[in-house]
Structure 1
């Protein structure tokens, strides 16, 4: 069997790999599970082509693929896919996939594609549904208002969703989980980069300082924070520019602004109503300069001063 696991929800992908591991024989598991980086595709394919040690099946995981790196050499190596032993389960993991690539087309001929995408943090309705579904899988009884609280407290963090529900299950000991017990055991530390972007857009310096401090205290990667801010401000700039240019059709604006969820446009329009394109473009310029500074050795301490400059632009 061949599986291709794609998406930005790395926790969900790892849980899927763990499921595959349980399908190997427990006595021979340590000998028949192998993980390789995508740069070692030749070694991974060689391992996949061999029979398992002892009895049962073997699992070969090729991680961090972008598929472009395989090239013609990788495509040639993957010609063996239809001839792999039936006892081999070959798994490829990647953040994204380009189905136009020859190597990807070949993989999809013989493999099963599964996507694991994090729920957008602003879709609290979907986050609530995911929490309720996970609780049901764990046979937990949970009150509706407790689910709503957890959606705000946990956000779209799938790993934390599972760990917090496991903690609540132990505390509840079979009883119904209430909002009171959820709020007592699950702190609402949900500061994320989108909240930081909103604070910057509204010129709320004190809120921005608080959110940034919480993000950094949780060891969030500074460049990842900046990348999210850049994406959000680019989206705001595109929406504002589209509105100023006279575009009235929501579907047309959503297409121009590359919005995967057109329903989000309603909120974006409200958010940029009182902000100028000049302000948004200046904010983006500051963020790009900050990215370059961090990549060239600037200390993360410089983030705060740069972000405070943005709040001065937008308030």
Structure 2
């Protein structure tokens, strides 16, 4: 009696995984009979889903019942607990029961009951300041989709989609179609031409500051605020990115040529990314990078003290951008 729980805030990843589970469970010709989705969080929908889970499959070998966006693991009416207990006890081996939700409250009796019998998998959006994890995510999904990318192309795509899983898959499918007749990895130029960047990211802001483009940096900052991006989250991404650039520049200045050693020092998980980072820091002065990190940490402290967010960020970003414009 397999029971699965998919939870988290990456809704698109949850949806894709649910469809993958469906394709492994129910034969296509029997989908109309052996696959049911209950997407409402009211009591009747939950009761109907649990009742359907007890039914044997028609014709095919397995039945799948998906209770989507359920509150069963965060709150539940008392009558549901008894029905849930009965369902788990009688659930046939021919039924796959999937529950998806945003979060699981492990204190609830319903959650404890399900977790004792279910396999749980979490799907969380990667925070935008964890640039290394975002870069690796692009690599992993590209391999899954079947698209080869150069390290510089991975950086461009990471910057364009940030942590938007839906956009990442959509852009990679587009790139896959383009590269159908080629065995060579797609490069930065092709990705820039084909990938749509509808979302301003803090990584783009970091690049604008690094290249001394004050006007562009301020425009990107305003875009981020218009999308209600938290100020501290923006600063966290800038700190992470400039810290990485600082370590790479420091290692290069000291004469280190071992890519793996540079990757280790800069906390870069994939050494191939070091080539891109070396290119980015080549025109930068070590002194400016050393000045930037404490400057950003002071900015973070100022925001935590309650200073006006937009004005504080604008002032500091102008200073940093002008610093890098001077070289």
TM-score (norm 2): 0.65
Alignment of 1:22-101 (within 5 A): 22=23, 23-36=25-38, 37-39=40-42, 40-66=45-71, 67-79=73-85, 80-101=87-108
Partner residue in 2 for 1:185: 194
Alignment of 1:183-222 (within 5 A): 183-192=192-201, 206-211=219-224, 215=227
SS of aligned partner of 1:112: strand
> Which deviations, in whole Å up to 9, do the C-alpha atoms of 1:20-75 show, x marking residues without a partner?
22120222111221111232211111111111222221111112223243243222
CA distance in 2, matches of 1:97, 1:26: 31
Partner residue in 2 for 1:311: 311
SS of aligned partner of 1:81: helix
Q: Which structure has the greater CA radius of gyration?
A: 2
SS of aligned partner of 1:19: helix
Q: Is the 8 A contact 1:56 1:87 kept in 2?
A: yes
SS of aligned partner of 2:168: helix
Partner residue in 2 for 1:2: 3
CA distance in 1, matches of 2:107, 2:60: 38
CA distance in 1, matches of 2:219, 2:149: 36
SS of aligned partner of 1:5: strand
CA distance in 2, matches of 1:149, 1:193: 13
Q: 1:131 to 1:107 in 2, by over 3 A?
A: same
Partner residue in 2 for 1:289: none
Matching of residue 160 in structure 1 with residue 167 in structure 2: yes
Q: 1:82 to 1:276 in 2, by over 3 A?
A: closer
Q: 1:149 to 1:270 in 2, by over 3 A?
A: farther
Q: 1:77 to 1:230 in 2, by over 3 A?
A: farther
Shift of residue 192 of structure 1?
5.0
Q: Give the total of aligned pairs.
A: 240
Shift of residue 170 of structure 1?
1.3
Matching of residue 18 in structure 1 with residue 15 in structure 2: no
CA distance in 2, matches of 1:192, 1:111: 37
Unaligned runs of 5+ in 2: 206-216, 237-266, 268-292, 316-327
Q: Is the 8 A contact 2:53 2:65 kept in 1?
A: yes
CA distance in 2, matches of 1:273, 1:195: 23
TM-score (norm 1): 0.67
Matching of residue 140 in structure 1 with residue 142 in structure 2: no
Shift of residue 229 of structure 1?
3.3
Shift of residue 314 of structure 1?
7.3
Q: Please tell me the root mean square deviation across aligned C-alpha atoms, in Å.
A: 3.1
SS of aligned partner of 1:34: strand
SS of aligned partner of 2:98: strand
SS of aligned partner of 2:69: strand
Range with bigger deviation, 105-114 or 128-137: 128-137
